[in-house]
Structures are given as C-alpha cells and as structure tokens.
Amino acid sequence: MSQTPILAALLLFFISIPVSSYGSVLSPFLFLSIFNIYTDATFLFIADGPLYDSTAYTKCKIQPEPPLYNGGMLKDQQQHTIPDTGDRQKSFSFSLKNLDAATKYCFSIWIRIKDAESAMITASLVTQDTRLKCIGTVTAYKGCWSFLKGGFVLSSPSNSNTLYIKNSDSKDVVGIEIASASLQPFTPQQWRLNQDTKINQARKRAVTVHVSDREGRQVQGASIRVEQLSKDFPFGSAIAESIIANPPYQKWFVERFNAAVFENELKWNATEFIQGQVNYTLPDQMLEFVQANQITVRGHNIFWENPQYIPKWAQNLTGSALESAVTSRIQSLMHKYRGDFVHWDVNNEMLHFDFYEDRLGPNATLHLFKAAHQSDPLATLFMNEFNVVETCSDAESTVDAYVSRMRGLQRGGVTVGGIGLQGHFDVPNPPLMRAVLDKLATLGLPIWLTEVDISNEFTKETQAIYLEEVVREGFSHPAVNGIVLWTAFRRGRCYQMCLTDGNFSNLATGEAVDKLMKEWSSDGLEGRSNEHGSYSFFAFLGEYKITAKYGDKTVDSTFSLSQGRETRHFNIQLY
C-alpha cells in the first residue's frame, strides 16, 4: 500500500491543530520524520492531486520543454486551429467541459511565432456565462519558444468553455505555433495543502533543544518553554503622518507589524513642494518612531514617473534645469537618510510612465539608479510597479515586460536588487498570481509585495476574504521576501482599504491580518525533554527565548532561527 495517502492524511491532521499541540499528539522524532519525508518529495500527490509545479522560464528556448503535469486536462486533447489565409494559424483554442467553481486551474503552454520578431500572446477563456479576457500572457519571439504560464478561477461552474491562444498586440496577423499545453486543476483543499507545504519548507525549520546538567549529563523531564521574540519575515503596512504623537495608532501598529513604508511623506512633491524649500520634518518624526520600535522601513520613493505626482514647479523643466533638480533631489534625500532605509523605490511605475526618459533621454533611469546606489550603497534598490501580479490585462506591465525592463537595467550596469510588486487587487486570481511570481523568481532577486490592498468597490467583509487570499499566496511563495499592506490611516480614511476604524479597533480586514499573524507564529510552545535530554519542534524563522526548568534550576537563553534545511541544534546547560 502506498504511503502517500497516509502522509497526506497526517499533514491534513497536523495543519488542523496548533503547532504547540504537536508534542501531545506524537513524539517529536516521529513528527520530524513524517514532516521531512513529506516536504522532501519533489512530486508528491496530495489528497489525490499533484504538488504544484513552480517551474517557469523567462528566456526563449530552441526546443519547448515537456508539458507540466504531463498535460493535465489537456493531455491527448486535440487543439482547434483558426487559420488565416495561407498556412498561418492566427489563434488556437481548446474545448473544456465541466469546469468547477472555486477550483484553481493552472495553465501553461509554449509559443513560437512567425512573421514578426516578437509579439504579445494572450490566453483567454470564454465560459457559458462570462469571458475572462486574460488568464496569462507571454512575449513570444520568432525562431524560439517562449513559456506562457497563468491560470484562472471561476465563480460559478460552467459546462461549456473555450480557451483561446491568440496575438493581442498587433493589427497584423502573426502566425502562432504551440506546444506542451497543460491545464491542471487543484481543489481548494489541494491548493491550501500546497501552500502549507511551501510555508513549512520556506518559513519554518526544525529545532532540537538539548538539556544537560553542569557535568554534561542529559536531563530527562526538564520543562521547556519557547517564546518567540521576533519574526524573521517582514510583514507590515504603510503609515502616514497621523501616526506621529498618536499613542493608540502607534500601539496598534507595533503590536502587529515589523515593517513599514511612508505613504506620501518622502515623495518629492511632499518634501519640496516649493522649489528650494526642502522640508523633512514629517519623515524625520516618522523615522524616529519606526527606529525606536525596531521596525524595518522601506524608502518610497525617490522619483515617480507619473507627471501627476511630480512637483508642479518641476513639471515644465527640461534639459539642464531638470538635470540639476534631479541631482539636487538625490543628493538631498540620500545624503540625509543614508543607511536609514533598507530599500529605495528609485523610479516608481516606469513601465506605465516616462516623464524623465522623455525629457532627459532613454538612459535617464540608468543614471537615477546609478546615482542612488552611489549615494547609499547598502540600500537595496527596487523597481516598483503596479498591475504586474494583480492582472495580466494591462499590456504595459505584463510579467514579461517587467522582466525585460529589469534585464535592460542590469545590462546597463545598474544595481537593481529587488522586485517590487504593488498589489492593488480587485478580485484576486491566485493561479495567475503564483504563475507571475514563478516567472519573476527566475531573476533570482528578492520579491516584495509592496503596496497590497483590495479595491473599495467591495464590502469590508469581502475585502477581508480577498486580502487573506493574496497575503497567504505571497507568504507561501519561497521567492517572496516581504509583504507590506497599503493601509495607512490618514484623516479617518485609507487609500482603498483600512484595517481599523477611527478608534483603532479591527475591521474585518484587520481581523483577517491578525488571524494570519497568529497562524504564522510559534509563540508559547511547551514540552519536556525526553530520555535523551532533548525536545524537538518546528518553528517559524525568527528570534526565540527558551526557558528550561528542572527542580529548582531555571535557565533562560536566546537563539536565532534562520533559514536552513538542517535541524537547528541548541544546547542548554542547567547550573
């Protein structure tokens, strides 16, 4: 009998109980063994479904790779071609029957084009009730194969559906070739199990505490208590000037978050509204608050390509006058805050706007990044953009457009250290979001969700549901290194989504955040050392205090739990 269903059932059981209860369910050694067998599998069927395949490609290949999941629902299915005149196929389609609501459908396919050097190819879905205009895109090229990865979720079941592959960015007909198409369904339960598996692999680590007496003899029966002092994963929110001298807001924030970003206070329009009159009073006060509470803070932003948010006095500058103003901005801001901000969003939203490059030439962005790096070499410089991970319907900011721009900056010799994805969501599409993260992960750079919120067109309860989906998806992806919500509370309101009311009592969205933070905490673990003098457990990465007590002897000690596949061994000696 295969052990896979047994392991899946055990993992379902463990996921349903608190971490602190493991010791009372079975021995730590047995749990560690089961956990390692489970998470070390490279392709394991979980609850009658496969482990999610995070394989992705962002470079053209001479030959396409085999289909993911052996094709899944599209295995051996005949695609339909829609030919143009001549021998060109301008689009393809697949007929799909009986698609379920809430099931996550992961789609991938390899594309090669004819008749043009490059073209954007879009996958879309038409159901009996609706049309999903984009479930994935790829920039395809002539003479080599490009990988499209995406997916979709339906809100209601549909018996008759058609998935289309076609050119979307040119009036000219482009011939298309396809290969290795795949469509893999995941039930909500399977998707959640896959998320938890990734979280266990990337965000947690096994620990064994060894207790001995002063002669080095193992101590059996010592009581162990584990207290989490801090979390390794940066999770936070934007803040506004309203947090200054506001104890209720400060208390609410510090109790939850270890990361922050200033919503508007560092932007050029805020610090130099009138040319030559630079004022950093508000960001100074906000920085004092975050530093006093050991909160990681991002720098947002040095420049913003959108003319609407450039100081009015600078909007009409050109040539040397604009160059002088830009140089002054960098020197003033970066000299003052050198070493204070771990990140800088250097030139915000440059896939959508081109103010500086239009006026200063095509290499303007290269100069901005190089100057920022010279001013603060230890800060990680980010390319920050919207509609990359939220949707694939925005032709300006597809995942391939982001990758191409990033690689162009790197070829230009600039230091770009981080991928910034804003994350202003309407209805989330988790399979597409994960596919985008997979492709961006091929760049080998840390990914941050920098401005996460949910549109205010929804009720607060619906916002909470969607927010949990997005945050859980981000936290479970190994390439994501931090999440910041765009929920600064200013004059009784927030940009799109608040977490609290005016009295700093949680709304439904705030409750969703607290629920996740409690779930992703390893505080308050308790147990006793076994006959070998050891106590084992799994814990989220971070800083810990361990208290060992035996008889009248009590010892406190601290340790750091960083990422690693090996068990972290820690020794405590009772004096």
Which amino acids are annotated catalytic? 349, 451
Helical packing angle, 28-39 and 4-15, nearest 10°: 120
3 vs 469: CA distance, rounded Å: 31
- CA dist 364 → 83, 311, 315, 327 (Å): 44, 18, 16, 12
CB 498 within 8 A of CB 464: no
CB 541 within 8 A of CB 207: no
CB 466 within 8 A of CB 428: yes
Residue at 267: amino acid letter:
K
Give the closest residue to 365 by CA, choosing from 384, 378, 387, 379.
Answer: 384
**Per residue, what are the HEC states of 266-332?**
CCHHHHCCECCECCCHHHHHHHHHHHHCCCEEEEEEEEECCHHHCCHHHHCCCHHHHHHHHHHHHHH
213 vs 186: CA distance, rounded Å: 51
Give the closest residue to 521 by CA, choosing from 224, 223, 209, 227.
Answer: 227
504 vs 476: CA distance, rounded Å: 28
